[in-house]
Amino acid sequence: MTSSLPHGGSTGESAVAAFLLADSRLPSGAYSHSAGLEPAVMAGLQVEGVYPYLISRLQTVGRMETVAAVLAHRRALELCTSAGGEDDGGAPGFAALEAALDARTPSAAQRDASRRLGRGMLRLAATLKPGDPAVAALKREAPRPTRPVALGVAARALGVGEAALARLCCYDDAQSVVAAALKLLPIDPMTATGWILAAEPQINAVADDALQARDLDDLPALSAPLMEHWAEDHTERTRRLFVA
């Protein structure tokens, strides 16, 4: 049996690759990253606040990152389908996308956390698809990419379409919150699983909206001041389970 994971514009998509990119064992996975929940719990968030927190992230951080991942995916596809990986002036370049994300992320701690996750995702993509032109371009243009940009590039390299990527980006963030909650708070795992299912309409809505984005003007700039404050405070703590 041969593999058909595409390097360029292929009609096939890999469902298995989408599952892989949501695996908590990855360097960007939930075993090391709480999607900001640990700082929130340290600040006093209780069990009843976890689901509202999850939804708030989807509508702020998640909405921005999903649009960024979709734009990065399109840029990667352009680079891999154009002759020799030349710029055709379509989707925004990786460096411009990274600058736009930085401008929309006031918290230095959140920017650093995203780049830690992105660096791990880029390493995964470079290992699994070492000859991919978009992966090489991202390494040149943004060697420390943010999570959504690296996720978009990795998804395209592994044959995940942009619609699946948009939902993956939202799901991965939500499941990181839930996985962390199980370690940090007294929660029934069945209840936590139910939160993910309950969030499906919001996940689908955010993902569908992200697919309508065309350029950097469509990248949301949504503030989450408490999350930003908690993330900054987390960097000063010496006892913690998660890096962010």
- Residue-wise pLDDT for 6-22, tens only, equals 333 344 578 889 888 88
At 241, list the tokens: 């389970």
- Which pLDDT score, from 0 to 100, does residue 31 have? 58
Please say if the pLDDT value at position 5 is more than 80: no
Average pLDDT over residues 92-103: 96
Cα–Cα dist 166/172, whole Å:
10
pLDDT, tens digit (0-9, with 9 covering 90-100), for 38-69: 989 988 999 999 999 999 999 999 999 999 99
Least confident of 39-43, 81-85, 153-157, 195-199: 81-85
Cα–Cα dist 203/197, whole Å:
10
As a whole number, the mean pLDDT across the chain is: 87
Per-residue DSSP letter, 30: T
Average pLDDT over residues 207-234: 89
pLDDT, tens digit (0-9, with 9 covering 90-100), for 149-188: 999 999 999 999 999 999 999 999 999 999 999 999 999 9
Tell me the whole-structure pTM to 2 decimals.
Answer: 0.89
- Which pLDDT score, from 0 to 100, does residue 155 have? 96
Q: What percent of the chain has pLDDT over 90?
A: 67
Please say if the pLDDT value at position 1 is more than 50: no
At 104, list the tokens: 């929309």
How many CB atoms sit inside 10 A of residue 218's CB?
A: 13
Cα–Cα dist 72/36, whole Å:
23
pLDDT, tens digit (0-9, with 9 covering 90-100), for 229-243: 887 777 767 676 566
30 Cβ partners below 8 Å, 6+ apart? 24, 175, 176, 179, 180
